[in-house]
Amino acid sequence: MKHSTISRSVGACAAAVLLAACASSSSGSGGGGSSSGPVTYGVLSCFSGRLASLGQAMIQGAKVAQSEINSAGGVLGRKVQLVTGDTSCDVADGVTAEDLAADRQRRDALLWNFTVLGEAAGQLSDEIKNQFPAINWQQPARLRNRIVHGYWSIDMDILHTTATRQLPEFAAVLRTVLDSQSQQT
């Protein structure tokens, strides 16, 4: 398998992790405000604490995207403005399972992103899975299958625990995979 395909697959997993983390930790106001002001988007992540390096990578990527978008004229002629929030990856400060159950938009966003993560993990080649045997590549695919085929019986406590406790660790592991793959080129 070519390096670019591996990077895209692992990158898709990492992007899904980012989106899932944002969906589980942010409220959906849509940002932007008036139609003449800047389009506001946010990155809510760990900029301090045990996973600060992951958050720093996210913010660096967001700043690059902001610069590229604004250099190309913005979104519908409006500049993009980045807003950040530091969660320190402290589960106690996050969204509760009850919040997920009550907020359909947030819950659906989290379910969608877990589905994308599971699909991306399932698409990885045996080569990459064998290169990193300590990673439980099947777990995201199993969660995806549970969401897709058993939507009416999703347990919000399990979904919440996965998003707040297991997802940050999986994201950190994905970062090591991406770093390893980029060093091989």
pLDDT tens-digit series, residues 97-129: 888 889 888 888 888 889 999 998 899 889 989
pLDDT of residue 175: 84
Q: Does position 163 have pLDDT exceeding 60, yes or no?
A: yes
pTM over 0.85: no
Q: Does position 34 have pLDDT exceeding 80, yes or no?
A: no
Reported for 91-94, long-range contacts at CB under 8 A and 24+ positions apart, including other chains, are 91/164, 91/165, 94/24, 94/25, 94/164
| pLDDT tens-digit map of 55-108 | 788 788 888 888 988 999 988 899 989 888 777 766 555 678 888 889 888 888
- The rounded percent of the chain whose pLDDT value lies above 70 is 76
Question: What's phi and psi for 46, nearest 5 deg?
Answer: -90, 100
Angle between helices 138-149 and 104-123 in degrees, nearest 10: 130
Mean pLDDT lowest among 32-36, 78-82, 127-131, 155-159: 32-36
- Cβ-based neighbours of 106, under 8 Å, separated by 6 or more: 23, 24, 26, 27, 28, 95, 99, 100
Give the pLDDT mean for 15-35.
Answer: 46
